[in-house]
């Protein structure tokens, strides 16, 4: 006779349509997808996605898109980012971060002037070789999968732009350098840390990383998973922002009621607006977000549109949010 206790089945989550953007403060030790799945379960959301991977060893801003907002997640993926980074000088590690084994140690004898010069050298348009411990894919496999198997594959250098590197602090005794970095999408901060270390002649690895901004979104307005779990469903819903928060730095075009209806069907509309590659479009009420478009030769041409049902759901959510 089998006396092994049978565990009760987990209760089935009844999913619901949820629309909007949650600014999550991702904790250390959790992958971006794990964080997404935890938030998705708490919201009981039918559809969700994140807007750019943060390594488990990194914390900070991770915008999560639910429902209709997933249509505009690419805008956040393409946006500039900002990070607070901690570099440990004098140690080079496998993978370029504190998780890897130390492969080389060198004495650290640097001046603030040398640090400033090294940071200035990597400001502007630079070329980076993607690290093997990254999610970039080659032949259908992520580079980190090759790295875990001990295989190094050829990678092509990529052009990225570092808008600014500000020195926040230098602890000579601990050999730690604190930097604030503003950069374009696709920038590898661990590669930047290693490159700065080589220019300084002592090597370095990334000892800590926190994303502080994505486009116009700020981690100061983000919520943690623990806080999210403490709230009831209405409290969680109240934290959701409209999908257009990811397009906040785009020009806005407002249409009258009849033109807004036609635009939502995918029709081009005549506008008295100069050519623009990307605009956010609203109905007669400025809060009625309709979608994204571009303007060419006096025509507003739809790119990504909300459905009428999604527009209505977002309007209802705005009315219910205090």
Q: Please write the tens of the pLDDT for every residue from 145-178.
A: 766 766 777 778 889 999 999 999 999 999 999 9
Could you give the CA distance from residue 135 to residue 37 in angstroms, rounded to a whole number?
Answer: 19
Of 282, 274, 277, 285, the residue nearest 254 (C-alpha): 282
List C-alpha distances in Å: 41 to 46, 56, 204, 227, 313.
9, 20, 39, 14, 20
List C-alpha distances in Å: 239 to 88, 162, 216, 317.
37, 32, 17, 11
Could you give the CA distance from residue 306 to residue 292 in angstroms, rounded to a whole number?
Answer: 9
The pLDDT of residue 114 is 97
Phi, psi (degrees; rounded to nearest 5) at 131: -70, 155
Could you give the CA distance from residue 127 to residue 93 in angstroms, rounded to a whole number?
Answer: 21
Extract the tokens encoding 256: 């009258």
Could you give the CA distance from residue 261 to residue 125 in angstroms, rounded to a whole number?
Answer: 43
Identify the residue whose tokens are 């130390």: 102
What is the maximal distance between C-alpha atoms in the chain?
Answer: 81
All residues at 6 or more sequence positions from 251 whose CB lies less than 8 Å from its CB, including other chains: 276, 278, 279, 280
Write the burial class of residue 127 (CB in 10 Å: 0-12 exposed, 13-18 middle, 19+ buried): exposed
| Pairing assessment for the beta strands 269-270 and 58-66 based on DSSP bridges | unpaired
- pLDDT tens string for the chain (322 positions)? 455 565 656 677 789 999 999 999 999 999 999 999 999 999 999 999 998 888 888 999 999 999 999 999 999 889 999 999 999 999 999 988 888 899 999 999 999 999 999 999 999 999 998 776 666 666 666 666 766 766 777 778 889 999 999 999 999 999 999 999 999 999 999 999 999 999 999 999 999 999 999 999 999 999 999 999 999 999 999 999 999 999 999 999 999 999 999 999 999 999 999 999 999 999 987 679 999 999 999 999 999 999 999 998 888 776 555 4
List C-alpha distances in Å: 263 to 22, 133, 258.
27, 44, 9
The pLDDT of residue 269 is 96
Alpha helix positions (H), 53-94: 73-78
The pLDDT of residue 185 is 92
Annotated catalytic, 55? yes
The pLDDT of residue 293 is 97
Q: Which residue of the set 3, 25, 34, 55 is catalytic? A: 55
All residues at 6 or more sequence positions from 169 whose CB lies less than 8 Å from its CB, including other chains: 176, 177, 178
List residues bridging with 92 in a β-sheet.
104
């Amino acid at each position: 006779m089998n006396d092994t206790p049978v565990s009760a089945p987990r209760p089935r989550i009844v999913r619901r349509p949820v629309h909007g953007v949650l600014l999550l403060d991702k904790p250390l030790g959790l992958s971006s997808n794990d964080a997404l799945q935890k938030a998705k379960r708490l919201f009981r959301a039918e559809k969700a996605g994140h807007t750019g991977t943060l390594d488990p060893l990194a914390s900070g801003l991770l915008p999560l898109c639910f429902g209709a907002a997933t249509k505009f997640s690419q805008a956040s993926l393409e946006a500039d980012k900002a990070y607070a980074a901690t570099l440990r000088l004098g140690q080079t590690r496998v993978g370029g971060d504190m998780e890897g084994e130390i492969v080389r140690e060198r004495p650290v004898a640097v001046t603030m002037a040398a640090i400033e010069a090294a940071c200035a050298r990597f400001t502007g348009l630079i070329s980076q070789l993607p690290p093997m411990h990254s999610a970039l894919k080659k032949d259908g496999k992520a580079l980190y999968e090759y790295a875990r198997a001990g295989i190094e594959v050829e990678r092509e250098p990529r052009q990225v732009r570092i808008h600014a590197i500000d020195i926040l602090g230098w602890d000579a005794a601990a050999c730690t350098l604190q930097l604030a970095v503003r950069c374009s999408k696709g920038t590898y901060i661990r590669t930047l840390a290693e490159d700065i270390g080589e220019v300084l002649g002592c090597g370095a690895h990334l000892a800590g990383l926190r994303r502080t901004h994505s486009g116009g979104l700020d981690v100061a307005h983000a919520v943690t998973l623990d806080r999210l779990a403490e709230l009831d469903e209405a409290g969680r819903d109240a934290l959701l922002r409209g999908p257009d928060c990811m397009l906040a730095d785009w020009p806005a075009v407002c249409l009258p009621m009849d033109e807004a209806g036609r635009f939502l069907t995918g029709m081009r509309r005549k506008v008295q607006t100069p050519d623009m590659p990307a605009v956010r479009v609203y109905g007669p009420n400025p809060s009625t977000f309709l979608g994204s478009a571009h303007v060419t030769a006096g025509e507003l041409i739809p790119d990504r549109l909300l459905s009428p049902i999604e527009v209505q759901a977002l309007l209802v959510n705005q009315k219910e949010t205090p």
